[in-house]
Amino acid sequence: MQERSKKILQAIIEQHLLSAEPVGSKTLLVSYDLGVSPATIRNEMAKLEDSGYLMQPHTSSGRIPTDLGYRFFVNDLVDFQNAKQQSHALISKIQNDFKTHKLKKEIQNAVTMLSNYTNNITFATLPDSATFYLGISKMLKKPEFMNDPLTACQVIEVFEKNNQFLKYLQNSEVPEGQIQISIGHENLLEEIKSCSIIVTRYRSNNFIGYIGILGPTRMNYAVNSIVLEEVTNQLNQEI
């Protein structure tokens, strides 16, 4: 992809993350210094749509990212290292919260903290083959789910059918010590193909469990990954 196309795609996704609305060329001209004409922006947006990175909702002249667009964004445009360097205050707060609450073996408290910092559904698998999760009410307040109750119900049902989600995680083959991001249709469960999942593994004595975040594809992948990584690091130290 050419640099100009990358800049425009990044601007559209960053604006959509903030607004949850389709992004038009006028918004890009006002909010971003792209150094190109309105006609050029419109042409590039059309090319990005033809290539599958953007789509145009029927009710708007603006564009929103597709799963492919988000995947390119995560793989090629998000600077995770820079985001981590810019998140010292957030990381310090997480570390302080662990010291204050003395979490130790209480994985449930870690999931609560994760939910509070990310405003998404957060979950962890437990040694008794159960999945502990929080944040359903936060998910329901997201525009994507407020405007589509059926999709919201499908996501909730996945967690209510505990074994289904547990098996999904167990089959995901996440390497220990790494964070895996699955975007939209990359998820194997049909009911959560409208969502993204950021997941890693934690260790408790002889048990290795999964801990992660589930939310709409319109999420802050960099910050959520940083929060999950730090919570998991602290949890592994405490347990």
Assess whether pLDDT exceeds 60 at residue 87. Answer: yes
Q: Taking residues 51-69, report their average pLDDT.
A: 91
Tens of pLDDT, residue by residue over 19-59, are 999 999 999 999 998 889 989 999 999 999 999 999 998 77
- Could you check whether 3-77 and 81-238 share the same CATH topology? no
- Domain-by-domain residue ranges, the chain? 3-77, 81-238
Half-sphere exposure of 40 (CA within 13 A, CB side): 9
Identify the band that residue 239 occupies on the pLDDT scale cut at 50, 70 and 90: low
> What does CATH list as the number for 3-77?
1.10.10.10
Identify the band that residue 162 occupies on the pLDDT scale cut at 50, 70 and 90: low
Beta strands in the chain (DSSP E): 54-55, 64-65, 121-125, 131-134, 180-183, 195-204, 207-216
Fold of 81-238: Beta-Lactamase (3.30.450)
Residue linked to tokens 């949850």: 20
Q: Taking residues 98-127, report their average pLDDT.
A: 80
Assess whether pLDDT exceeds 50 at residue 103. Answer: no
